[in-house]
Chains A and B, each alone.
Chain A
């Protein structure tokens, strides 16, 4: 199987990529990272540049076609790959074998208890594309509930959008900021130490707001929680 790291994780959140590798290897997978990969093309597609997106999609197909499965730590990118590529490409073999991390763990590997240990108070934001495009449902929650030491608290109005939306955050910065403010209000109400999600782009957005307010809540990708063990526990960035 192959890891598709996504451009955001590769560039800004290498720890998430490392966590996916550690977790999947612990569960007995043979993980490869095809170095030719770059980006799924979602930003281009959603901003109105489908031709650029189609060329990145064709690259993706070529790079990943030989693998049995592709796993990515992003519901949004897998949504792009699985739901949108069929509109851009004739053949989507690799796209159809692509899975978001929680889907891969629960559906393909058939595990919900991945042997993780994470002694913190955690709240979970479902992220729009995981929730509605991929319909990952409660898979991430089932995984989190099986983590030893973890205290899961419900996020108020969890399924409302955080206001990221790619270039939306720039083009409609004020509206995006207002949506973010409400999301952050929900997060801080939970008094959680950690906010988790299956998408680093949403975590970047909400995390950016939390950081601006010095809210003291740590945004941590789901993969990093699941990869944390008693022997090698997760550590906050210094």
Chain B
């Protein structure tokens, strides 16, 4: 069972979910403001580096090297972590990973764990699994906390609460934080202060912390987490037991490889030259930091994804979210429409792949949630050709579908007509009859499925003479 947990069960297909999002003007305004700002900043941060393109290529090459020989690097990582006093666990899917974390938490005698933002644990639905086992998980990243308290779903990889504005956040805090001052305003400073006070208490009492990982260095067994708030650092140093859940594709060979990504990631994600906090730890150190360190290596559909020659490049992703911020579709619909932990362009290709055989109608709609404009490929710091993978996944979806669907029949008929110039000219003559539907040179209403076009735009009336007819008449 691959990929369980990646999507939120029961969410509608993309076109349907998008319609709901599009009807919410506040959401659209919040998204537009946020993405426009970050887009501009990223472009500036990238333009500063004269060697951005070579850096991207280096990032791509390192990731490809790792993916090409993943077993070796993972074994090297395991050996290095073990040698430094850590314990490595392997989890095939979400259930296995959740079980491991729950067991370790119970062994540590904890009823509450603090968490530093982690996509991997969101992917496996860890918080829900822990709750079922009687353990409370507390998100410590500010945006995650907003989402958690708002009983909401994250809608961005890096800024999960991107769809909320300050006034909405203030309301959530007043409702959900018992110790928040009555007269709190929606000033970012006050909101951050309230969150800090709320979290400080949690840090000081937590016995167990759960983290994700941005990278793991195979050579030394070091785990790397980058963040902006410093709350992660508290999680990584104060509790006795630290459990890291990490997708197996996050490994890099050496420290000098890491250097490439520490340049690519912050500029692409937050448009910073360097991220404010980079925490790196290696096994355990007596008298300093956590006494026990566990590393859970998560597959959950990744080895299956690796087997697909075109699709595997999605595993290069360093979750910078640059592709979300430039995507014109994401900008209109927000993350929730994707119904997945991984929204936006990367989500559209990663989600169905991680789900593998469990892919359903909703996940199958995701590769179509793109106009193939290519903006995502252009910004991706590890050069994932997202449009290429989208089209590849569409072809797979077509293969799996009924060959007699209306679309498949239409496509075959069209290809047949286009396979021969005489047949094509005949088809054009038939299309020319469309003139009968037109008024004043335009067609404003067509029967289904053309009605989907004419819902918001006209079509030009076909001309009396096609180009090829003109050529034959005048030059032939």
Residues of A within 8 A of B (CB): 5, 7, 9-18, 33, 35-39, 41, 43-50, 52, 55-56, 59, 128-129, 131-133, 160-161, 163-181, 204-205, 207-209, 211-212, 237
Kindly list the 3 A-B residue pairs having the minimum CB-CB distance in the complex, ordered from nearest.
A165-B371, A208-B457, A48-B394
Contact with A along B354-389 (1 / 0, CB 8 A): 000000000000001111111101100000000000
Q: Which residue on A lies nearest to B431, using beta carbons?
A: A11
Q: State which of B28, B373, B414, B449 has its C-beta within 8 Å of the C-beta of A165.
A: B373
* A-contacting 9-mer, from B83-91, B107-115, B126-134, B327-335: B327-335
| Complex-state Cα separation, A164 to B453, whole angstroms | 10
Residues of B within 8 A of A (CB): 14-15, 18-19, 22, 28, 328-329, 332-333, 368-375, 377-378, 391, 394-398, 407-408, 411-412, 414-415, 417-421, 424, 428, 431, 441-442, 444, 449, 452-453, 455-460, 462-463, 465-472, 475-476
B371 and A55: CB pair below 8 A?
no
A161 and B328: CB pair below 8 A?
yes
A10 and B456: CB pair below 8 A?
no
B458 and A211: CB pair below 8 A?
yes
Whether A165 contacts B14 in the complex (CB less than 8 A), given A47-B411, A179-B328, comes out as no
| Complex-state Cα separation, A37 to B452, whole angstroms | 29
Shortest B17–chain A CB gap in Å is 10
Q: State which of B18, B368, B378, B398 has its C-beta within 8 Å of the C-beta of A49.
A: B398
A174 and B373: CB pair below 8 A?
no
B332 and A178: CB pair below 8 A?
yes
A48 and B328: CB pair below 8 A?
no
Of B420, B456, B471, B475, most buried by chain A (CB within 10 Å of CB) is: B456
Q: State which of A50, A207, A209 has its C-beta within 8 Å of the C-beta of B460.
A: A207
Contacts of A128 in B (CB 8 A): 371-375
Interface SS of chain B: helix
9 contacts between A and B (CB under 8 A): A17-B471, A35-B468, A38-B419, A47-B411, A48-B391, A175-B332, A205-B457, A208-B457, A212-B444
B19 and A174: CB pair below 8 A?
yes
Contacts A15-B463, A38-B418, A46-B394 given; 15 further ones with Cβ under 8 A? A14-B466, A14-B467, A17-B470, A18-B467, A56-B418, A128-B371, A168-B370, A169-B453, A171-B368, A172-B14, A174-B15, A176-B371, A207-B460, A208-B460, A212-B457
B371 and A179: CB pair below 8 A?
yes
A50 and B22: CB pair below 8 A?
no
Q: State which of A15, A167, A177 has its C-beta within 8 Å of the C-beta of B455.
A: A177
Q: Which residue on B lies nearest to A169, using beta carbons?
A: B453
Shortest B375–chain A CB gap in Å is 7
B397 and A48: CB pair below 8 A?
yes
